[in-house]
Amino acid sequence: MRFPTPHTLQQIATIVGCDSVGPENFPVLGMNEIHVVREGEIVFVDHPKYYEKALGSRASVILINKEVDCPDGKALLISDDPFRDFNILTDFFKPFEKAHSSISDSAEIGQNTVIQPNTFIGNHVKIGNNCVIHSNVSIYDNCVIGDNVIIHAGSIIGSDAFYYKNRPDGYDRLKSGGRVVLEDYVEIGALCTLDRGVTGDTTIKKGTKLDNQVQVGHDTIIGQKCLIASQVGIAGCVVIEDEVTLWGQVGISSAVTIGKKAVLMGQAGVSKSIPGGKSYFGTPVQESREKYKQLANVKKIPSILKKLEE
């Protein structure tokens, strides 16, 4: 997430009320999660396991809960609670805007687009030409919808990321300041939920089709011409490459990559990245041909045991 205007390190330190290491006028252009952070942006880290990764990332400013040596060309924000302070920055730069109508005055809606009754379209939403948005759809603030997109009844575009920190008094939510971007010719079935990015975009690329009751987690990127059947659950930060097919009730863990033209059979469970161009099924997922061989061999066990008994 880029800031509307560049800020200095001192200005950011003042907003969150913490100490800084680096020139006071060090330029800060935005904030992001570590997997999408860019030069000029802030990333936060609050666990020793990830200190080295954050310090070595593309981030120019590291919001960290330990005094460490500052890498060359970077700056530090020393905080007793980076998670809390990252939320403070999100609230400062992307504050919640109350809606005053079902379709916001700041929304941009293209030519020949049909908005059915009882639909909510939030602040600063952009919708292209020739779209059909069916009844009871909710499109949260700042989402971007391309041309020739269809969204069926009851779907929610841009809900918050499912991202929490476990505190002694309960779970603390990491606030979401990102967007959902649907490119041209995307179709979203009924009762789907697409979470926005924490600071970046959840993106569904051109020509991809989602069936009913599909969940897409925050910051996930789904490629072009993918087919995703009913009741698929995709966690956050997943990358699904072009022309992938996911059949019903597939479950995908966070931060994995599904290779181009992969096919996942119904109820497959994916916990690690898998290459494209192959068919998979089972939990944990395996290539279909290998899995079929294993199942065939399992069926032989009773006859093998019977021979041994003889």
Q: How many CB atoms lie within 10 A of CB 108?
A: 13
- Say if CB 103 and CB 119 are below 8 A apart: yes
Does residue 100 have an active-site annotation? no
How far is it, in rounded angstroms, from Cα 72 to Cα 42?
A: 15
Q: Is the dihedral of CA 98, 33, 18, 173 positive or negative?
A: positive
What burial letters (b/e) apply to 166-195, b meaning 16+ CB within 10 Å? eeeeeeeebbbbbbbbbbbbbbbbbbbbbb
- Say if CB 44 and CB 65 are below 8 A apart: no
Q: Within 13 Å and on the Cβ side, how many CA atoms surround 194?
A: 34
- Identified catalytic residue from 7, 134, 152, 218: 218
How far is it, in rounded angstroms, from Cα 114 to Cα 203?
A: 22
How far is it, in rounded angstroms, from Cα 278 to Cα 255?
A: 20
- CA nearest 204: which of 189, 50, 80? 189
Rg of the chain over Cα atoms, rounded to whole angstroms, equals 23
Amino acid identity of residue 245, one-letter, is T
Residues annotated catalytic, as ranges: 218
